[in-house]
Amino acid sequence: IPVVLDVKRRHIGETQYYYATACFEHLRAYPVTLNPFMGRDTLEPFLKYPEKGLYLLAVTSNPGAADIETQALTDGRQVFQIVTAMTEASPETGLVVGLTNAAEVLPLIPDVPLLIPGLGAQGGDLAALASSARQAPSLVNVSRGILYSDAPGSFAEKAADWRDRIAASLG
């Protein structure tokens, strides 16, 4: 079973080397999330594991995404669009795009794999993803909507309910 290690790692190269080794060799994770805001070189130690996957933080689902990630640059792009260009480094590199921002963001990013938080407790709407006509795989994450739900049923039943809702919405 693939395990997404949502660690949002970022550090200088030497430290990143040890993080990559820990994530992929010791914890056997596949894939990991990385914070790319220290530059492309900080991704290199993780890219040495081409059979694994990386999700780069692009536009997160928290309100603070507006503080940096969606800020406009002088050339008209937004900060997250610099991150999207980093996905060209490897076909296994995708993006974290919060469903709470998907309607505005999806038209501006390449068709790469997506890790999509923000559904459930954060109130993201699957309609934005369903209407995007993306071909690359998307992994929609629901955590608090399952773990802390007041809905009746076991954990497995709540997870199955969300799985079915996502599948029905995305067709």
d(CA 31, CA 94): 10
8 is an active site residue: yes
Among the listed residues 8, 48, 52, 158, the single catalytic one is 8
Burial class of residue 164 in the structure, from the number of CB atoms within 10 Å of its CB (0-12 exposed, 13-18 middle, 19+ buried): exposed
Question: Under a CB-based contact definition with an 8 Å cutoff, are residues 80 and 101 in contact?
Answer: no
Selection from 127, 87, 91, 129 nearest residue 110 by Cα: 87
Would you name the residues annotated as active-site residues? 8
